Amino acid sequence: MDLKEAWKKLEQEKLNQPVAGTVEVRKNSKHPMQKLIQLSKITLAFVIFFELCFSFLLVIMVQPIVKVFLVIMIIVYLFFFFLNLKILRNIQESFRLDLNLKSTLKQVYDNTMSSLAFQRKASIVIYPLAATAGFLMGLSTEKDAAIMMQKWQVVVTLVITVIILTPSCYYLARWMERVSYGKYLNQLRELIQQFEKDEVESV
């Protein structure tokens, strides 16, 4: 496969050029970089949805201990919103036809991989917080959650819940990451490897 020819085909899919050297391709494009842009936008939409849900719960929940954990989740998801927005902008800004092809692909690949790795590490902290918030909301529907948390049986139940849910959610998220991003990241990696192979052969 002639990678330079494949890259040049993107020029035929241009819709406009709001910034010199940048390009936007059609939504039905199968180019892995465009797919990563679409996935980043979907991720942002989910973050906004959960942020709205937490904000709504913060309004309707009465017990202070529940509100504290909801505020924490709102702050965490606000951080994730800006993180994913940064990822999206990095991919869009890197999607340039006027730059070195291999460098462009490698920059997008490395940035996306590092961002996903950071989110996986952050989730180790987020999932226990989310599990605790959900547990407290469940308690608060019938009893005073703050009083109930003074009972050792309730604390043990919470700890068991966190121990079970944290790894379960983590591996579920890893699976969803592979399903969503894996194919297109693999395609980018293969393109980069082909560039490197061509460079070696041309020496």
Q: Evaluate whether residue 19 is within a structural domain.
A: no
Look at residue 15 and tell me whether its pLDDT is greater than 60: no
**Local structure of 96: helix, strand or coil:** strand
Q: What is the pLDDT of residues 108-150, one digit of tens each?
A: 888 888 888 888 888 888 889 888 888 888 888 878 888 888 8
Say what percent of the chain tops pLDDT 90.
Answer: 13
Q: Evaluate whether residue 5 is within a structural domain.
A: no
pLDDT at position 164 is 92
Look at residue 83 and tell me whether its pLDDT is greater than 90: no
DSSP letter (8 states) at residue 173:
H
CA distance linking residue 176 with residue 172, whole number of Å: 6
Q: What is the dihedral sign for C-alpha 126, 129, 132, 138?
A: negative
- For 58, half-sphere exposure in the C-beta direction (CA atoms, 13 angstrom radius) is 15
Question: Where does the pLDDT of residue 1 fall: very low under 50, low under 70, confident under 90, or very high at 90 and above?
Answer: very low
What are the residue ranges of helices labelled H in 61-100?
A: 64-94
Which residue range is the domain that position 121 belongs to?
29-202
Look at residue 45 and tell me whether its pLDDT is greater than 70: yes
Q: Evaluate whether residue 51 is within a structural domain.
A: yes
Q: Evaluate whether residue 8 is within a structural domain.
A: no
pLDDT at position 74 is 92
Q: Evaluate whether residue 6 is within a structural domain.
A: no
CA distance linking residue 156 with residue 172, whole number of Å: 24
> 3-class secondary structure for 54-70?
HHHHHHHCCCHHHHHHH
Q: How many domains does the chain have?
A: 1
Look at residue 153 and tell me whether its pLDDT is greater than 80: yes
pLDDT at position 48 is 92
Q: Evaluate whether residue 109 is within a structural domain.
A: yes
pLDDT at position 25 is 39
Q: What is the pLDDT of residues 89-113, one digit of tens each?
A: 877 776 655 556 777 778 888 888 8
Q: Evaluate whether residue 146 is within a structural domain.
A: yes
Q: Evaluate whether residue 69 is within a structural domain.
A: yes
